[in-house]
Amino acid sequence: QVQLVESGGGLVQAGGSLRLSCAASVRTFSFYGMGWFRQAPGKEREFVAAVSWNGGRTWSADSVKGRFTISRDNAKSALYLQMNSLKPEDTAVYYCAAVSTHYSDYVPYMPRSYDYWGQGTQVTVSS
């Protein structure tokens, strides 16, 4: 069983930055690929970024490339999302998620592929 708890959300002006964190309660954090997703009101949950089990590979949605950076610290069982140059359209609830990848370098981007989810943290970007 994996428990995920996000933090770091809040209200920020356009152009500002936030750093989201996700703390995982799990025996072997490195067993899992990790992803960040977001969901705005009235919209489906969408992929933001993902990272492989050792941090060696990362993926980002086109909408956040060059602005958001995903990273992980396996020693701390933690996942991060550094968000810079935030835009009002980034406003959403952000979720971290874990998927068993058995040390594969590939991490899926479809929400339905993930096994565990956090409760989400609200990010609001004002114009």
CA distances from 57 to 37, 72, 107 (A): 17, 11, 9
- Strand 92-100 and strand 32-39: the pairing is antiparallel
Residues contacting residue 83 through CB under 8 Å, at least 6 positions apart = 17, 18, 19, 20, 64, 67, 68, 90, 123
pLDDT at residue 78 in the model: 98
Q: What is the pLDDT of residues 32-68, one digit of tens each?
A: 999 999 999 999 999 999 999 999 999 999 999 999 9
User: What whole-number percentage of the chain has pLDDT above 90?
Assistant: 94
* pLDDT value, residue 103: 85
Phi, psi angle pair for 76, to nearest 5°: -105, 0
Residue with tokens 């492989």: 52
Residue 102 has pLDDT above 90, yes or no: no
Residue 1 has a pLDDT of: 85
Residue 74's pLDDT band (cuts 50, 70, 90): very high
| Of 45, 8, 31, residue with least CA distance to 98 | 31
